[in-house]
Amino acid sequence: MADLVITPANVVAGSNATRDIGTAGATIAAGHAVYLDAATNNWLLSDNNGTGTRQVKGIALNGASINQPLTVAKAGDVTIGATLVPGTAYYLSATPGGICPVADLATGMDSVLIGLAKSASVLAVDIQNSGVTL
């Protein structure tokens, strides 16, 4: 398997989604996994093979360039704009902003759960940064 192929125009937060609004610190597309950088207070792309980026705080709900407003789903249902396998756990991948199924986690990656697929299109976002490196 591989990272989810997300169509940004199809990313929509559910009515139970918890949201946060901030500023993009890089170019970010809807559906990307992001974290809030403590030094700049900007949203950046999460990356499972980067230094200091192996964390997720939410899923971008809109596209933004650097210094533009960004809305992030921190929990709840998100129509992710990709085809999911119901019941599958999805994690932060080694691609900046990427989301992959649990089967794609490899040695050296951190186990950062983003959520579980409720259906073929809805991801129940429940982020858990375990701090465990495989």
3-state SS track over 18-37 = EEEEEEECCCECCCCEEEEC
101 has pLDDT over 90? yes
Give 110's strand partners. Answer: 133
- Whether 91 maps to a domain, the answer reads yes
pLDDT band at 134; cut points 50, 70, 90? confident
Residue 20 belongs to a domain: yes
pLDDT exceeds cutoff 80 at 86: yes
* Residue 84 within any structural domain of the chain: yes
Q: CATH number of the domain at 91, please.
A: 2.40.300
Q: What is the largest CA-CA distance in the chain?
A: 37
Structural domain for 99, as ranges: 8-133
Q: If we measure between CA atoms, which residue out of 60, 77, 65 comes closest to residue 21?
A: 60
Classify residue 120: in a domain, yes or no.
Answer: yes
Q: Indicate the SS3 state at residue 101.
A: strand
42, 51, 92, 94 from 21: Cα distances, Å = 10, 25, 21, 25
For 11-15, 36-40, 98-102, 128-132, which range has the lowest pLDDT when averaged over its residues?
128-132
Assigned domain for 1 exists: no
Kindly give the residue spans of alpha helices, DSSP state H, lying in 1-128.
Answer: none
Average pLDDT of the chain to the nearest whole number: 95
Examine residue 82 and state whether it is found in any structural domain, yes or no. Answer: yes
Number of compact structural domains in the chain: 1
Q: What is the spatial distance between Cα 65 and Cα 119, in angstroms, rounded to a whole number? A: 30
Is residue 108 situated within a structural domain? yes
Q: Give the pLDDT confidence score for residue 59 in this predicted structure.
A: 98
